[in-house]
Amino acid sequence: MPGPVTLSDVAREAEVSLATASRAINGSANRTVRPELRERVLAAAERLHYSPDANAQAMARGRTTTIGLIVHDIADPYFSSIAAGVTAAADQLGLVVTLLTTQHQRGREQQFVEVLQSQRARAILIAGGRYDDADGTESLSQALAGYMASGGAVALIGQPLPDVSTVAIGNTSGAIELAQRMHGLGYRRFGVLAGPEGHITARDRRDGFVQTLADLGAPVAPGAIVECAFTRDGGYEGMRDLLSRDLAVDLVFAVNDVMAVGAMAAARDADREVGADVAVAGFDDIVTLRDVNPGLTTVRLPLDELGAKAIELALAGPAAEATVVEVDGEVVVRASTPPRA
């Protein structure tokens, strides 16, 4: 039986050199093929039912059609919503997305950048907050700089890095507005599930919320601020800890929604009715909140739009300067924080 059709077969059929056939089908970062020759090669490939080799195309063009998306936890609806926006935008551009998750492990981002660089990914997107770790930040910056120097494109969703385009989230401004709205509803005694120590996103949201309440004359007691994991189970354990301290807390702010969902579960398990015995608020407006009862007050972010905007920034072109686009949240008040008398 004859073997698979090769590029040499196509070149022979089209009566061109192998190099010309390769440039016509795979593209080239340096040389182009005259239109009439390219049409002749493509017609020969179609007659022979030739399937191009993706690796060969990547070598010829210098880049694959792959977008690498690095997130912290794909099970978190925050990241899955961003991923949905990225994949939808990539599909419109004829690109495919490779998804990598750090599972909240420090140092994994730069490792993944090196992997994607070795695979000649066209662009890398990194979504999620970083830790206040100078060495880790420097390592990531160097890995990204090396990748961009080799011709790759990068965009971040979260905190900016020098010379990297970023969709920056208004974490502090959103927390400030949330604190003002909750104070306006009559709440005066607050608790905060603050996330892990050193997590920049968690810290910005906590500080914006706590400082605003202090300015309004309703300071949060130090014992009512609980550090916990940036996950649903972290919120559950943090709420259990907070309730065990027997503080007079009327409203608990969890610095992301998955933590808030865990906090609501912990409140129910402690026979506290959310909205009546204790109010709960979050941040992000993840899609799964549609099924949470009572509805969770939160700061809404356009999560799917963040991913699409990141692709746009990354693929703006080699001449484009690094750009930071600020995206602010919008407070959405629901039944988990009813007005107080």
Task: State the average pLDDT over residues 212-218.
Answer: 97
Inside any domain, residue 138: yes
Same domain, 236 and 115: no
Same domain, 292 and 322: no
Q: What's at 68, amino acid-wise? A: G
CATH at 35: 1.10.260.40
Q: What is the pLDDT of residue 118?
A: 85
Q: What is the pLDDT of residue 60?
A: 46
Q: What is the pLDDT of residue 16?
A: 84
Residue 61 above 60 pLDDT?
A: no
Q: What is the pLDDT of residue 304?
A: 86
Task: State the average pLDDT over residues 79-84.
Answer: 92
Which of the four pLDDT bands, split at 50, 70 and 90, describes residue 1? Answer: very low
CB burial readout 94-122, b (16+ within 10 A) else e: ebebbebbbebeeeebbbbbeebbeebbb
Same domain, 147 and 176: no
Residue 320 above 90 pLDDT?
A: no
Task: State the average pLDDT over residues 21-42.
Answer: 75
Same domain, 324 and 204: no
Range of the domain at 214: 171-301
Q: What is the pLDDT of residue 272?
A: 95
Distance CA 62, CA 147 (A): 13
How many domains, the chain? 3
Same domain, 322 and 272: no
Residue 46 above 70 pLDDT?
A: yes
Inside any domain, residue 334: no
Q: What is the pLDDT of residues 245-301, one digit of tens each?
A: 989 999 999 999 999 999 999 999 999 999 999 999 999 999 888 889 999 999 999
Residue 153 above 70 pLDDT?
A: yes
Tokens 């061109």 found at = 16
Same domain, 146 and 178: no
Inside any domain, residue 283: yes
Inside any domain, residue 317: yes
Inside any domain, residue 1: no
Q: What is the pLDDT of residues 88-142, one digit of tens each?
A: 999 998 899 999 999 888 888 989 999 998 888 889 999 988 888 888 899 999 9
Q: What is the pLDDT of residue 59?
A: 46
Q: What is the pLDDT of residue 176?
A: 98
Distance CA 57, CA 94 (A): 15
Burial class (CB in 10 A: 0-12, 13-18, 19+), 49: exposed
Same domain, 139 and 211: no
Residue 23 above 80 pLDDT?
A: no
Residue 302 above 60 pLDDT?
A: yes
Same domain, 236 and 280: yes
Inside any domain, residue 337: no
Q: What is the pLDDT of residues 154-209, one digit of tens each?
A: 999 999 998 899 999 999 999 999 999 999 999 999 999 999 999 999 999 999 99
Lowest mean pLDDT among 10-24, 184-198, 206-220: 10-24
Same domain, 296 and 178: yes
Residue 30 above 60 pLDDT?
A: no
Same domain, 200 and 254: yes
**Of 41, 61, 81, which marks where a domain is finished?**
61
Same domain, 144 and 30: no
Inside any domain, residue 341: no
Q: What is the pLDDT of residue 45?
A: 85
Inside any domain, residue 122: yes
Residues contacting residue 72 through CB under 8 Å, at least 6 positions apart: 79, 101, 102, 103, 104, 127, 128, 230
Q: What percent of the chain has pLDDT over 90?
A: 59
Q: What is the pLDDT of residue 246?
A: 83
Q: Which of 319, 326, 325, 314 is nearest to 90 (CA)?
A: 314
Residue 54 above 60 pLDDT?
A: no
CATH at 159: 3.40.50.2300
Same domain, 107 and 191: no
